[in-house]
Amino acid sequence: MDSQEPHPIEHTPVLRVGNLEHRLHDAVSGESFTITLSQELSLQAGVFAALLGPSGCGKTTLLTVLGLLRQPSAPESIGAFEISTNSAEEDAKTYDVKEIWKKKRFKEIEALRRKHIGFALQSGELLNSLTVEENISLPLRLNGWSAAEASKRVDELLRYFSLYDDNDHSRRLATSRINKLSGGEYQRVVLARSIAHKPRLVFVDEPTSALNRELAYSSLATLKRSLLEGETPSAVIMITHDEQLADDFADVVIRMEPEKGRAAGSVTEINYIQHSEPLSNLKEVS
C-alpha cells in the first residue's frame, strides 16, 4: 500500500475524512438516497465517538463507507479520507484511502479492512456452525496469528466479556454453538470478535439492543477499557439512539439529520468533548 512517511501516533488521527458524499441508487425503482459529510471528522487514538440521528438518516450507510465495506460513489470528489495504522511491529503509517479507491486497488482495501478495522454490526453475522471461541478467533486466523497467540487472546476476551459460565467460571460458553446463546451472550461475542485482532478502528452498530441497561453499560465499559489498554489504543465509532450512553461514553458526538425535501441525510454536527466519563469510573461486565 502507498503510505506517507511515518508519523508519531499521538499526533496522527486514526481516521480523517471530510467532504464525503455517497449516493445509493436502486436500479429497479430508480430511487436514490444521498449521505453527506461536508465538515472534517478527525478521530485520534483512544477516542470513543457516538453517531446519533433518527432512523433512516443514513447512519449505517455512513458507517459502511467509513469502514471500507462500501466503495464511495464518487471517490475523486472526496476532500480527504485517511486511515492511520500502527502495530508493535511497524511505525504508524497513514494511508490515503481516497487514492486507493480512485485507483480501484480493491485488494489493498481488503487488506486494510481485514488487518486494521473491526466491526460489531446489528446482524452480528456470527457463524452458527462454529463455537463461541472459534467465532472470536476468526479474525486472528485470517491475520496469521499463531495458534498459541490466538488461544491466549481468545481466553483474554472470554474473561473480559464474561463469557465463562456464570456459576463456576468454566469454559462451557466458550465451547457452545452460537445458536445456543441468549441474545445478550450473542452480542457480547460480537463485541469480543470485533476487537480480537486489536484493530485500530472499530465500528459498532447499536451494540446494546439485546442487552438490559446494566449489561449494556458494563459491556460498553469493557469494550472501551480494552481498546484503551496497551501501546496502540484504537478509535471507535458507535451508532446508538441512546443519548445517555452517548453522554456517558463518547469523547466525540456526531449527529446526522434527514434533509428536508430530499432523499438524503447529512452530518449536521461534530462535537469534540474534552472530558468524557473517566475510565476508572467505568465498570466492566460482571
**pLDDT value, residue 242:** 87
DSSP 38: -
Q: Is residue 184 within 8 Å of residue 218, measured between CB atoms?
A: no
**pLDDT value, residue 9:** 42
**pLDDT value, residue 102:** 96
CB count within 10 Å of CB 153 equals 20
Q: Is residue 96 within 8 Å of residue 5, measured between CB atoms?
A: no
**pLDDT value, residue 283:** 54
Rounded Cα distance between 263 and 146, Å, is: 48
**pLDDT value, residue 6:** 40
Enter the C-alpha cell of residue 190.
Answer: 460480537
DSSP 283: P
**pLDDT value, residue 223:** 85
Tens digits of pLDDT across the chain (286 residues) = 444 444 334 568 999 999 999 999 888 888 899 999 999 999 998 899 999 999 999 999 999 999 999 999 999 999 999 999 865 455 568 999 999 999 999 999 999 999 999 999 877 689 998 999 999 999 999 999 999 999 999 999 998 888 876 555 566 788 888 888 888 888 889 999 999 999 999 999 887 666 677 777 888 888 888 877 666 789 999 999 889 889 989 999 999 999 988 999 999 999 998 644 555 455 554 4
pTM of the entire structure? 0.87
**pLDDT value, residue 8:** 39
Query: Amino acid letter at 249?
Result: F
Rounded Cα distance between 20 and 35, Å, is: 8
Among candidate residues 226, 170, 227, 224, the one with its CA nearest the CA of residue 200 = 227
Q: Is residue 271 within 8 Å of residue 279, measured between CB atoms?
A: no
How many CA atoms within 13 Å lie on the side-chain side of 214? 2
Lookup result for grid cell 470513543: 48
Lookup result for grid cell 432523499: 263
Query: Amino acid letter at 160?
Result: Y
Among candidate residues 47, 190, 208, 46, the one with its CA nearest the CA of residue 119 = 190
Among candidate residues 125, 88, 100, 114, the one with its CA nearest the CA of residue 201 = 114
Q: How far lies 154's CA from each of 167, 180, 205, in Å?
A: 20, 19, 22
Instruction: Supply the Cα-derived Rg of the chain in whole angstroms.
Output: 19
Q: What is the distance, to the nearest Å, from the Cα of residue 135 to the centroid of all Cα atoms in its chain?
A: 17
